[in-house]
Amino acid sequence: MSSREIELRSTVARFAAEGKLHTLSVWFILALRLMMGLAFFQSGLDKVLSGEFSAGGYLQNAPPANGSPVADLFVAMGNTPWFVDFVNVAVPWGEVLIGLGLLFGAVTRLAAFFGAFMMLLFYLGNWDIAHGYINGDFAYMLMFLSVAAFGAGRILGLDQYIEQYEVGGKPLVERYPWTRYLLG
C-alpha cells in the first residue's frame, strides 16, 4: 500500500469487502457532506421563510396519483390533522437542522440518518419508476448514508472536537460509546 492510499475492510453477515481509497478521497467526502448540507439547509430555509409549506394536499393526493405502493399510508397520514400539523413543522425545520448539522459537521451521523429517512419517505411519496427504481430521492438517500458511513463530521467538522470533549477525564466517545452512532 502506498502512502497515498487507505485500506478499507468490512464484513457484514459473512460477506467481506475490501478496497483502497486514495487520500484525496477525504476532499470528496467533505464536498459530499457540504453539498448535502447546503441543499437541505436552503430547501428548509425557503420553506420556513415563505411560511407556505403545507403537506396535507400532497399526502392525500400525490402518492395515490403516482401509484406509490404505500399510497394508503400517505393518505391516512394526510387525513390525520395532528399528523399534518406535525409534518408541516417537521419537514421545513428538519431540513434546516439536518442542513446545519452537515454544514458544521456536528452530530453528523444523526443528521444524516434523519436526512436518509426523509429521503426514503420522499422516494416512496414521489414514486416514479417510469425510468427505473433509482431516482434523485433514492440517490440522495444513499448520499446521506455515505456521509454517515464515512464519519464525514470528523473532516473539518465539529464532531472531531465533540468526540474528544472530556467527561470525567475521558473523551466523550470513550465514556459513552453509544455517542459514536450520533457523531462522526
Average pLDDT value over all residues in the chain: 93
Kindly provide the b/e burial profile for residues 138-175, where b requires at least 16 CB atoms within 10 angstroms of the residue's own CB.
bebbebbebbbebbbbbbebbbeebbeeeeeeeebbee
d(CA 80, CA 167): 44
pLDDT at 40 over 90: yes
Report the predicted TM-score, pTM, of the whole model to 2 decimal places: 0.89
- Sequence ranges of the domains in the chain: 28-153
Kindly provide the b/e burial profile for residues 22-34, where b requires at least 16 CB atoms within 10 angstroms of the residue's own CB.
eeeebeebbebbb
Q: What percent of the chain has pLDDT over 70?
A: 98
Distances (CA, A) of 117 to 23, 52, 91: 30, 23, 11
What pLDDT score does 5 carry? 77
What pLDDT score does 24 carry? 87
Q: What is the mean pLDDT of residues 118-136?
A: 90
* Least confident piece of the model among 18-22, 75-79, 120-124: 18-22
